[in-house]
Amino acid sequence: MPDSEWILYGANGYTARCIAEECARKSLRPLLAGRNARAIAELAARYAFEQRAFALDDATELRANIRGSKVILNCAGPFSATARPLMEACLAEGVHYLDITGEIDVIEAAAARDERAKTAGVILLPAVGFDVVPSDCLAKTLSQKLPDANHLELAFAAGGSLSPGTAKTALEGAGQGGRARINGRIERVPFAWKTREVPYRDGPRTSMTIPWGDVASAYYSTGIPNIEVYTAAPAKQIAMLRRFGWLMPVVSAGPMRTLIKNWITRRVAGPSAEGREKSKSSLWGRVENAAGQSIEGTLTTPNGYTLTVTTALAAVERLLQSPPRGGFLTPSLAFGADFITKFSGCDLRV
């Protein structure tokens, strides 16, 4: 049985290592876990944390390894491979589940387990990082201002480079194409299905639709049936995606996927601490009702990885101290629409 109250799984990944470093600074004591025994042991030795190596393919072994903990924070992506076995183990052992996914299907998988989680008294709370805490809180805030809204647009412009895990997750998702929520259902749409000039706080930028996590989560937070999520992108990139998007399923599958993942492992390191400090993120949202009334809002935050460390640890601490009701929750449902405003460098305006 772990001595620690909570487990940081996938601890040797880029974002999890940033979280472990912040835990040491704040005198938090997670159990570090993951599949790579050597990497986990080296990281645990650096901070004098408890550690354990285990994979997720044996359900009995997995349950034994999380038994006795209160919370697990899953940082091992792609979450399409790790979230479901961990959620099942958490439901069986009465452990609250958190992750930092941005994957629509993972959020939907957690939502589908809502009744089981309520029965077990377990909280399933995916996406407690940059995706989707700031956008979810922005969406919830806007929906509270216009309760009968039936359309939601969200957009973000994220500064800085990608981590290896984020790049691999993006590769996994590329094969599924674009997605949007239309009349309450998540529908497949073409790459860069729509574009628009988004009035970010620091100025307008051309942005395109992407299959971001809020297509799933914002529906549960707001009840709004039509949801599109955009990200800022150069016009040339948008044109290329529209022209060659049909190749994405080929590139993101089979031997080609393996080759690209290996390249990412060798060549992508993630942003430096200095790079995280210098870059910021900007978000925009708009809700509209059937009568054509609309409300817009903007939100600025620190770099996405920096924010993920902050919001994920805040979620862990809240679940350890005073967990909300059991079941599937989004960040704004668990902690309130103003959750994002509690963190340094976050400024939400409607």
What's the rounded Cα separation, in Å, for the pair 66 and 89? 8
Residue 39's SS3 state is helix
- Specify the pairing of strand 195-200 against strand 71-74: unpaired
Q: What is the pLDDT of residues 248-299, one digit of tens each?
A: 665 556 666 566 556 656 665 666 777 777 789 999 999 999 999 999 999 9
pLDDT digits (tens, 9 = 90+) for 159-180: 665 556 565 555 555 556 799 9
Look up the pTM and report it.
0.92
Sheet holding 327-328, edge to edge: 51-53, 31-34, 6-9, 71-74, 96-99, 123-125, 327-328
Which domains, ranges and CATH numbers included, belong to the chain? 6-129+306-335 (3.40.50.720), 133-303 (3.30.360.10)
Using CA atoms, how far apart are residues 334 and 332, in angstroms rounded to an integer? 5
Per-residue pLDDT of the chain (350 residues; tens, 9 = 90+): 344 799 999 999 999 999 999 999 998 999 999 999 999 999 999 999 999 999 999 999 999 999 999 999 999 988 999 999 999 999 999 999 999 999 999 999 999 999 999 999 999 999 999 989 999 999 999 999 999 999 999 999 986 655 565 655 555 555 567 999 999 999 999 888 999 999 999 999 999 999 999 999 999 999 999 999 999 988 888 887 777 665 566 555 666 656 655 665 666 566 677 777 778 999 999 999 999 999 999 999 999 999 999 999 999 999 999 888 899 999 999 999 999 999 999 999 99
Q: What stretches of the chain adopt beta strand conformation (E)?
A: 6-9, 31-34, 51-53, 71-74, 96-99, 123-125, 149-158, 178-182, 185-189, 195-200, 203-209, 226-232, 280-289, 294-302, 327-328, 347-349
